[in-house]
Amino acid sequence: MRRLLLPVLLLAVPFVGACGASEGPVTPVPGELTEQGPAEASLEVSLDRGDGGSAETRTLTCEPEPGGTYADPAAVCDHLQGLEDPFAPLPADQMCTQQFGGPQTATVTGRWAGEPVDLQLDRTDGCAIAQWDRLGPLLPADVD
């Protein structure tokens, strides 16, 4: 019996090192090289000021270098890269102050850190206003 067990154990030893603990999925940051190449960051922002005028559309690309229709795309990219999960939706069970920040709405679509983005924004309560403001230079501050 011992003769049979030893070869089986010796065969299993090289595979033990491959069973280490996983650190979980890693979300690439824009500009960071991944196994597939640079993490993609390309967005389109549609803004309706709620005043009856036409919606404005802006574009932003952060790789391979900042570009798009913003006056300073590098500043917008830097701001977004400094945020943890900038395009996360608001939690459904979050309590928010009941205040109205204005009729403005925005839609952000595209890819950020290689992940799809499809975010609807408005200014209908305190949480939504804070989410809007958090995105900083991506959305206009002159909506008040």
- The token duo for 50 is 């709620």
pLDDT of residue 64: 81
Residue count (the chain): 144
DSSP 17-60: GGGPPP----PPPTT-EETTEEPP-EEEEEEE-SSSSPPEEEEE
- 23-71: per-residue pLDDT in tens? 444 444 444 444 444 458 999 999 999 999 999 999 999 988 899 999 9
- pLDDT digit string (tens) for 70-124? 999 999 999 999 999 999 999 999 999 999 999 999 999 999 998 999 999 999 9
102 or 19, higher pLDDT: 102
Q: Can you tell me which residue has the tokens 């065969």?
A: 11
Dihedral angle of Cα 69, 71, 73, 77, to the nearest 10 degrees: -120
Domains of the chain: 33-87+103-138 (3.30.350.10)
